[in-house]
Chain A
Amino acid sequence: LIKSGGGDTLNASIRAISYYLPEQILNNDQLAAIYDNWTAEKIFEKTGIKTRHIASEDEYASDLAEKAALLLFEENDINPEDIDFIMLATQSPDYILPTTACILQNRLGIPKSAGAIDYNLGCSAFIYGLALSKGLISTNICKNVLLIMAETYSKHIHPMDKSTRTIFGDGAAAILVSMNEIDGINEFILGTDGSGAGNLIIPAGGMKLKNSNDTIIDVEDENGSIRSSQNLYMNGPEVFNFTIDVVPKTVNDVLIKNHLSMDDIDLFIFHQANQFMLNYLRKKIKIPEEKFYVNIEQTGNTVSASIPIALRMAEKEGRIKKGDKVLLVGFGVGLSWGATIIRW
């Protein structure tokens, strides 16, 4: 690692990724038992998911983040003393304040000279984290960013909401983005459409609609799912419409911006939303199956952590090797999206 004050190349690359999944598991048999007319097979067929890892009642985003970071340090022989910035994405923080990343500075033994911030994004967060890390490194503000994606959406989900509980799983990924001789993180395309803010939302619990006796009232929707205003709400069809509109354009735009064609890309890794959506996007964009990574069977959709977890899994499976060009796309809550091409 290039230490603080060392040689300045102003290039950034991903040096290492580790991830942590909580021990508790929720499988399709358990879900089929409580949802009328659903079988374990149907859930698997529609989502591509067999199990999701769920944080225990007293296990929070900071705990998942800490475990993922400790694994990152251990597996890659990284000294926490060398970290000079902590950047953490979560939408299920331990507290409204203070910032989770500040708590982690202390718990991980990272020097007090390090900067620390949280930012609030979901399925696009990893792409934004890479963009911000690259910005900090290329302007010589820091050299070793500990980027963490830590999410416990299960705490927001009503047990009887089929539309979200079948899909989302908890998990955290820790990524070391460092100053490097090699320019490993290339050009970005980012985008936002706040008109779709209501399509993925937890309406209550912020300042606008404070939690009260009214916000805990359960309501059954037209599909038989139950939730209150304090739970996660996802309008699946609207999110799907947004995705099939935005993702193909974004892939095209990021290729143009990087002066590359589809053939130049060794592997495409999209946010691991669900099997149906990923298959449809792959067909629509005409990506060959062998160049498209899907692995959500055991994890479910882990929101911001899904792309780095998939990257690490793909590396372990030998699907990516040093020097490969990997095209990454994140998309979701906001609505927000982003894409980049990395050199592994």
Chain B
Amino acid sequence: MRSVVKVPDNEKIALLEEMLDLDNGTLKVETKLDAINNWDSMAVISLIALFDEYAGETITITQIKELVTIKDILDLWNSAMGSND
């Protein structure tokens, strides 16, 4: 059932914006998760689903708790896929 879909960073950000019901261009790599209004437990569940779907990887709650900025999500995503494209 594992499938890995390679997605460039700008598209990853667009997927995160869609996930958080935010307008295009709202998120920057340096945006802090705490500053995002919709960053709640539902968003965490959506992020788990996004990683499972696109990276074929289960992320733990411990890993999510360590995330501070959008860049941290991108780094985790890229390492989950084993690539930096």
Contacts and interface: CB of A to CB of B under 8 A. Distances in A.
A237 B1 contact: no
A245 B46 CA distance: 15
A220 interface: no
A223 B60 contact: no
B60 A241 contact: yes
A280 B53 CA distance: 9
Given A237-B64, A241-B58, A245-B58, A284 B41 contact: no
A281 to B, nearest CB: 10
Interface residues of B, number: 16
B46 to A, nearest CB: 8
A79 to B, nearest CB: 47
A280 B49 contact: yes
Contacts of A280: 49, 52-53
Interface string B51-80: 011000010110010000000000000000
Contacts of A284: 1, 52-53
Chain A interface size, under 10 / 10 to 19 / 20 to 34 / 35 or more: 10 to 19
Contact residues of A: prevailing secondary structure: helix
Nearest to A245: B58
B44 interface: yes
Contact of B41 (A223, A241, A244): A223
Given A46-B42, A284-B53, A240 B48 contact: yes
B61 A244 contact: no
Interface in A32-57: 37, 46
A280 B40 CA distance: 19
A235 B61 contact: yes
A163 B41 contact: yes
B5 interface: no
Contacts of A244: 48-49, 52, 58
Nearest to A45: B21
Interface string A107-138: 00000000000000000000000000000000
A248 interface: yes
Nearest to A244: B52
Contacts of B83: none
Contact of B61 (A46, A238, A283): A238
A238 B44 CA distance: 10
A241 B48 contact: yes
B1 A240 contact: no
B37 interface: yes
B1 to A, nearest CB: 5
Nearest to B39: A223
Nearest to A251: B1
B35 interface: no
B40 A223 contact: yes
9 contacts: A37-B37, A235-B61, A237-B48, A240-B49, A241-B60, A244-B58, A245-B58, A276-B49, A283-B53
Interface of B: 1, 37, 40-42, 44-46, 48-49, 52-53, 58, 60-61, 64
Interface of A: 37, 46, 163, 223, 235-238, 240-241, 244-245, 248, 276, 280, 283-285
Given A240-B48, A280-B53, 18 more contacts: A46-B42, A163-B41, A223-B41, A236-B41, A236-B44, A236-B45, A237-B41, A237-B44, A237-B48, A237-B64, A238-B61, A241-B60, A241-B61, A244-B58, A276-B42, A276-B45, A276-B46, A284-B1
Q: Which 5 residue pairs across A and B have the least CB separation, nearest first?
A: A237-B44, A240-B45, A223-B41, A280-B49, A236-B41
